[in-house]
Structure 1
Amino acid sequence: MKLTRLYSNQAELFLPVQFNEQLSVVLAEIRRTENKGKTIHNIGKSTIARLVDFCLLKGKSQKFFLFKHSDLFSEFTFFLELNLEDGRYLTIARSVEATKPISILVTDYDVPDAKDVNTSEWSHIGLGMAPAKRLLDGLFDFSSISPYDYRDILGYVLREQDDYGEVFHLGKFKGPHREWKPFLAKLLGLDDSLTISLYEETDKEAKVDASISIYQLESGLTDKTDTAKIEGIIGIRKRELEEIQSTLDSLDFTRADSEASQELVEHVEEQISIKNEESYRLSQLAARLDDSLREESILFSPKQAKKLFAEAGIAFDGQIKHDFEQLIQFNRAISQERREYLLKEKSDTAARLSELGPELADLQLQRADLLSFLGNSATMEKFKDISNQVVELRAGISSLERQRDALNEVVRLRQEKRQIQERESQLQTAIEQDVRRCAEDPSSRYSEIQRYFDKIIYDVLDEHALLSVDPSPTGALEFSAEIVSPAGSTTSASRGFTFKKLLCIAFDLAVLRSYRFDKFPRFSYHDGVFESLEPRAKRRLISVFREYAELGLQPIITTLDSDLPDPVDSSDEAISSSEIVRRLHDDGKEGRLFRIDSF
């Protein structure tokens, strides 16, 4: 899949961009003297990538310039034509403001301007985002990265300035690691299903831990309390209850008093006692929940540890520090899950406590009415005393049974947790074996991308670079791309923005080269490729882009004229006029991508 052209329904405000089959250059010229040496903005060299992404159905966001400035762009419809793997041409038309803004045209021939095509000849008209994405996914048929869709790879073939900060974790992937690491594993030829399964088991363990904490709080007992001991105490209390109940049953009352006493015993007094016990239990639970929430913090600090180790003359850096940081990150994720469960339990507890107050008040009124009816005979006093004992014993037994049930649930959950941890261990081992297998196999996708990546960096800088994947202590994959010294150790050069950008470009090109015989994007778009590189490295990078163009790929780059190593057409090494697909400049509207006032 290559880009053919980008245009709009308002050609007088947005001139068409016709991409080359091979290297395409978007050149921004600084013509005004006062702008020499400055970073200029708003002429549009970075905007082309955003428009390509928009036509490839980037999600709608009010921060995106077309929607943010809808007063300027509401009438625009953009068209992107692509040349598919099977030789057909695909044109995507997307309106800025329409409710169902997407139309698709598939032809066996190049269509220079789809606005001239009759509506009846379009393959699909007025699609919403979801059906249009499904349709494009089928037309592109990137089966080599299935079950992921075509949008997942676009971040690595459309790099803007903000995308050079990290080689792998793009700004577009702002979610948790599970939302991008499995795809990256798949892209590098690793078994992504193992990573997905590990994340699923980690989620299960976090939920089990949260449930264990809640049941422990409900029981109000220590971890060392034996359920068999509680069972024995329950037996003792039940025998006491039988004896007292027998005494209660032997008391004799008149019919009216007996009926009233029965109602008092079986309904009011018992309900008051139960609700008092429930209120006490919930108050204790609320206090314990507050204590647990205050304890939710990670006290270990790698920075403080490094300082203490330094004072003791011990090195605390490199992989040790990295492993601790990974472990802290993992624990924070689990703690967050547990905190959410605790907060929900606290909310439910508070709600129930607020209900108990009015219920108890009503029962106390009923109790007062009944007692005034019964009188104050000696038998009745004995009856009330024994009845209170019965109620207290029943409430106590009920509380013990809840504690027993909670502890039994803790035991069951811990067994479940051990099973989860066993599966996690098996998955961690499988991930390690998978990485080792791919690393040791020179014909694997992983090894192939490693070689291409290293060669690009060496051809440009005369230094080697290492692309690596390592399982962390928790089993999650960690991806790294670094420039290495002749001795094989990593250098600080890869940490600078200029070299980080070069590592990003090398990774993207290496992936495209590895997939060049599969149905896959053939184009790459890199913004501001030459900034801060020294002239010799720039010339070598141009050579790399041309080499990859000869392999059938379509590198698209943007640059300021002041960043070029040599003037256009000045030598065979220099960028040629035929490679420039769009010239932009800072001298008025005519030089901007959109011939309108700056926005």
Structure 2
Amino acid sequence: MKLSKIYSNKSIFKEIIFNEYLNIIYGNIEDHLTNVNAQEHNLGKTSLVYLIDFLLLKEVKNNNFFGKYKTKFNDWIFFLEIKLNDGNYLTIKRSIKNNNLVSIKKHFSNNQNFTDLLTEWDYSDIKIKTKKDEIKAKDTLNTLLNFNVLDKPGYNYRSFLPYLLRTQDDYGEVFNLDNFFSDSEWKPMIFELLGFNGDILDEKYSLEKNLEFERKHIKKVNLESKVSDSEIYKIKAIIEAKELELKEIKDTIDKFNFFQKEQDINIELVKEIESEISLLNNKEYNLNYNIEEVQNALDNDGGSIIKINELETLFNEVGLNLPDQLVKKYKDVQLFASQISSERKKYLQDELKSKTEERNSIRGKLYELNKKRGDYLYILREKDTFIKYKNYQDLIVKLSGEILVHKEKLISAQGIEKTKGDIDKINDDISLLVDEIKLELNKENIDLIEIKKIFQDIYKKVFQYTVLLIVEPNKKNNINFTTTVLDFANDTTGKGDGYTSTKILCASFVLSILIYYSNKSFYKFAYHDGILESWGDKHKVSFINLLRDYCKKYDIQYSISLIKSDIPNSLIFNKGEIIKELSKGNELFGMEF
């Protein structure tokens, strides 16, 4: 597929007729850095990228060219005539105002003008964005183009298009373009074009996406339900216990045997609770008496023995002398009494502690029994059967709610368990795909060998250095595509890292793909805006000469834009190579932006 012609219903638009091979869009201005009032995009050579993309059915959004300037093009209609790979032609009609509608017509000769054609379209006003059962414009165009490269589910004619249509802002990376949001959007495609099975890589990305989704799901469930799969059997046991309790209450309600319940409670109150309370009250009374007696004994301990100095004072008052032998014997008695008193005191203290603890225990039991007695008396005093029934119903509601909550937790926990099983399965599948990718990389790949040869040949003819195109696994066991430039001694250099070198690497890669698949039904054109800017004059001349040779040899149409200051004096263009000259007052759209 090649570009043949672009035109509009507006006469101020500068019609462009493309030739078969090298095409130059020439901006007749000086370097834009020194000519502030003549910005390049005002001429339209950069905007031509957006126009071609638009006519190949890129959706209009507020942040892209025709979205931002929609009011300026409100009544404009554009036409793109393309040459199909079978030699026939096809024209696409699309307006800015009703940009979701597209008309398509096939024809046998080029350089047609269908601006006045109203009804004789093969496909009239088919939609880009459609409802479920409507004909889709992109699907229709994809079928008409009839590519047999990337002709499999997941790809269409637009898949490789971002590499073919580049503005001056699109040369920062050879492979990873800003048009792609993630590696999964472009790496499987490049892998496929380089002769590998891209489906393997595509499936791995899909599984990794699923894996990330499942991991986030587990995290979300853990946060929301506060449960983990390790609690499954505990939750089951709780549910079983609560369901058993619920069943017993329901059975009671079904029998409606409130008389038996009251009778059971009466017997228990009479035979058990009140007798037990009475018994404990007696025990508490006896303990209180014992504690008081022990406490009194402790308080009076040692007070009955007369001290020796008090005895001597008493004898002196009656005029008698206390014999020394008696004093000695009395002191012995005092010592013996003191020893006995100490042992008795320890015994009394232990007894006091034991009795106090026993009394406290009895008081605790009395509290619980009196509370239970009060609860039972409350039930006995409820004479209204409906009130009793309602109490059971409330209990059923409470238990049912608790069971429901635990069942939801069980579902969450079982869901986590299943998800973890799914994650294990996904990881196993990913491991198998990693092995397949390694096998792919190690197999003999004629496609890759030939594309590398073309890639190296283009770069070497322009820059005289050898470049390597490397396909290798990365740390995540996906694929990296890199380029490395070698010096004349075949050592790695940084020459491929500069902006100029990256530009030629971008062009070399696209040309390599177009050349290798030139005998297939695939794109046979590219338009690279400002590709030669910042190059040395020698490299510019070498590249243009290479383009002339390769375009004719492989039937490729390669278009570039140049401004006057980019063209070295030694570079002379052949007749017909400059297909459109733009300048101040002669802009592509007949106006500036």
Residue 463 of structure 1 and its aligned partner are, at CA, apart by 1.3
Query: Which structure 2 residues correspond to residues 12-51 of structure 1 after superposition, within 5 A?
Result: 13-30=12-29, 35=34, 40-41=39-40, 42-51=42-51
Which residues of structure 2 form unaligned runs of 5+? 130-135, 264-375
Q: Aligned residue for 1:140?
A: 145
Residue 35 of structure 1 and its aligned partner are, at CA, apart by 4.4
Tell me, yes or no, if the aligned pair for 1:163 and 1:170 is still in contact at 8 Å.
yes
Structure-2 change in CA distance of 1:414 and 1:62 (3 Å): closer
Residue 244 of structure 1 and its aligned partner are, at CA, apart by 11
Kindly provide the amino acid, as one letter, of the partner of residue 573 in structure 2: I
Quick check: 1:122 aligned with 2:124?
Answer: no
Query: Which structure 2 residues correspond to residues 63-82 of structure 1 after superposition, within 5 A?
Result: 63-82=63-82
Kindly provide the amino acid, as one letter, of the partner of residue 155 in structure 1: P
Residue 522 of structure 1 and its aligned partner are, at CA, apart by 1.1
Kindly provide the amino acid, as one letter, of the partner of residue 475 in structure 1: N
Residue 461 of structure 1 and its aligned partner are, at CA, apart by 1.0
Quick check: 1:8 aligned with 2:8?
Answer: yes
Tell me, yes or no, if the aligned pair for 2:30 and 2:563 is still in contact at 8 Å.
no
Query: Which structure 2 residues correspond to residues 445-484 of structure 1 after superposition, within 5 A?
Result: 446-484=448-486
Tell me, yes or no, if the aligned pair for 2:246 and 2:399 is still in contact at 8 Å.
yes
Cα RMSD (Å): 3.9
Q: Aligned equivalents of 2:72 and 2:397: distance in 1?
A: 77
Tell me, yes or no, if the aligned pair for 2:5 and 2:111 is still in contact at 8 Å.
no
What whole-Å deviation, never above 9, does each CA across 1:163-222 have from its counterpart, x for those lacking one? 21222222222x233233322222222212212221222233233323433554577567
Tell me, yes or no, if the aligned pair for 2:27 and 2:564 is still in contact at 8 Å.
yes
Q: Aligned equivalents of 1:190 and 1:141: distance in 2?
A: 22
Q: Aligned equivalents of 2:31 and 2:541: distance in 1?
A: 26
Q: Aligned residue for 2:109?
A: 109
Q: Aligned residue for 1:165?
A: 172
Q: Aligned equivalents of 1:391 and 1:92: distance in 2?
A: 69
Residue 140 of structure 1 and its aligned partner are, at CA, apart by 0.8
Residue 71 of structure 1 and its aligned partner are, at CA, apart by 3.5
Residue 432 of structure 1 and its aligned partner are, at CA, apart by 1.9
Tell me, yes or no, if the aligned pair for 1:82 and 1:91 is still in contact at 8 Å.
yes
Residue 516 of structure 1 and its aligned partner are, at CA, apart by 0.1
Residue 490 of structure 1 and its aligned partner are, at CA, apart by 4.7
Equivalent residue in structure 1 for 2:568, among 565, 568, 571: 565
Q: Aligned residue for 1:592?
A: 587
Structure-2 change in CA distance of 1:193 and 1:390 (3 Å): same
Tell me, yes or no, if the aligned pair for 1:94 and 1:103 is still in contact at 8 Å.
yes
Kindly provide the amino acid, as one letter, of the partner of residue 553 in structure 1: I
Equivalent residue in structure 2 for 1:494, among 487, 493, 496: 496
SS in 2 for 1:574: coil
Equivalent residue in structure 2 for 1:506, among 486, 505, 508: 508
Q: Aligned equivalents of 1:109 and 1:514: distance in 2?
A: 28
User: After alignment, is 452-461 or 176-185 more displaced?
Assistant: 176-185
Q: Aligned residue for 2:183?
A: 177
Q: Aligned equivalents of 2:79 and 2:397: distance in 1?
A: 79
Which residues of structure 1 form unaligned runs of 5+? 259-373
Q: Aligned residue for 2:438?
A: 432
Quick check: 1:208 aligned with 2:214?
Answer: yes
Residue 527 of structure 1 and its aligned partner are, at CA, apart by 0.9
TM-score under structure 1 length normalisation = 0.68
Kindly provide the amino acid, as one letter, of the partner of residue 592 in structure 1: E
Residue 425 of structure 1 and its aligned partner are, at CA, apart by 0.4
Tell me, yes or no, if the aligned pair for 1:81 and 1:92 is still in contact at 8 Å.
yes
Structure-2 change in CA distance of 1:16 and 1:230 (3 Å): closer
Q: Aligned residue for 1:155?
A: 162
Using the aligned pairs only, state the percent identity: 31
Q: Aligned equivalents of 1:245 and 1:128: distance in 2?
A: 63
Residue 98 of structure 1 and its aligned partner are, at CA, apart by 3.4
Q: Aligned equivalents of 2:459 and 2:32: distance in 1?
A: 35
Kindly provide the amino acid, as one letter, of the partner of residue 559 in structure 1: L
Tell me, yes or no, if the aligned pair for 1:219 and 1:406 is still in contact at 8 Å.
yes
Q: Aligned equivalents of 1:237 and 1:511: distance in 2?
A: 70
Equivalent residue in structure 2 for 1:539, among 535, 538, 541: 541
Q: Aligned equivalents of 1:166 and 1:513: distance in 2?
A: 21
User: After alignment, is 42-51 or 119-128 more displaced?
Assistant: 119-128
SS in 2 for 1:20: coil
Q: Aligned residue for 1:580?
A: 578
Residue 235 of structure 1 and its aligned partner are, at CA, apart by 7.2
Equivalent residue in structure 1 for 2:426, among 416, 420, 428: 420
Kindly provide the amino acid, as one letter, of the partner of residue 149 in structure 1: N
SS in 2 for 1:163: coil
Residue 427 of structure 1 and its aligned partner are, at CA, apart by 0.9
SS in 2 for 1:87: coil
Tell me, yes or no, if the aligned pair for 1:219 and 1:404 is still in contact at 8 Å.
no
User: After alignment, is 201-210 or 134-143 more displaced?
Assistant: 201-210
TM-score under structure 2 length normalisation = 0.68
Tell me, yes or no, if the aligned pair for 1:7 and 1:80 is still in contact at 8 Å.
yes
Kindly provide the amino acid, as one letter, of the partner of residue 583 in structure 1: E
Residue 482 of structure 1 and its aligned partner are, at CA, apart by 3.3
SS in 2 for 1:525: strand
Aligned residues: 465
Structure-2 change in CA distance of 1:231 and 1:254 (3 Å): closer
Structure-2 change in CA distance of 1:380 and 1:213 (3 Å): farther
SS in 2 for 1:162: coil
Q: Aligned equivalents of 2:474 and 2:235: distance in 1?
A: 43
Q: Aligned equivalents of 1:491 and 1:413: distance in 2?
A: 49
SS in 1 for 2:115: helix
Q: Aligned equivalents of 1:126 and 1:238: distance in 2?
A: 65
Residue 526 of structure 1 and its aligned partner are, at CA, apart by 1.0
Residue 24 of structure 1 and its aligned partner are, at CA, apart by 0.9
Q: Aligned equivalents of 2:405 and 2:590: distance in 1?
A: 77
Query: Which structure 2 residues correspond to residues 150-549 of structure 1 after superposition, within 5 A?
Result: 150-173=157-180, 175-217=181-223, 220=226, 225=230, 253=258, 376=378, 406-437=412-443, 440-441=444-445, 443-444=446-447, 446-485=448-487, 490-549=492-551
Q: Aligned equivalents of 2:516 and 2:65: distance in 1?
A: 34
Kindly provide the amino acid, as one letter, of the partner of residue 505 in structure 2: L
Kindly provide the amino acid, as one letter, of the partner of residue 20 in structure 1: N
Kindly provide the amino acid, as one letter, of the partner of residue 208 in structure 1: E
Tell me, yes or no, if the aligned pair for 1:182 and 1:195 is still in contact at 8 Å.
yes
Residue 66 of structure 1 and its aligned partner are, at CA, apart by 3.5
Tell me, yes or no, if the aligned pair for 1:3 and 1:523 is still in contact at 8 Å.
yes
The structure with the largest alpha-carbon Rg is 2
Residue 417 of structure 1 and its aligned partner are, at CA, apart by 1.9
Query: Which structure 2 residues correspond to residues 52-71 of structure 1 after superposition, within 5 A?
Result: 52-71=52-71
Tell me, yes or no, if the aligned pair for 2:165 and 2:528 is still in contact at 8 Å.
yes
Tell me, yes or no, if the aligned pair for 1:104 and 1:124 is still in contact at 8 Å.
yes
Structure-2 change in CA distance of 1:238 and 1:14 (3 Å): closer
Tell me, yes or no, if the aligned pair for 1:7 and 1:17 is still in contact at 8 Å.
yes
Q: Aligned equivalents of 1:33 and 1:132: distance in 2?
A: 39
Kindly provide the amino acid, as one letter, of the partner of residue 593 in structure 1: L
Kindly provide the amino acid, as one letter, of the partner of residue 461 in structure 2: D
Q: Aligned equivalents of 2:396 and 2:145: distance in 1?
A: 76
Q: Aligned equivalents of 1:231 and 1:594: distance in 2?
A: 74
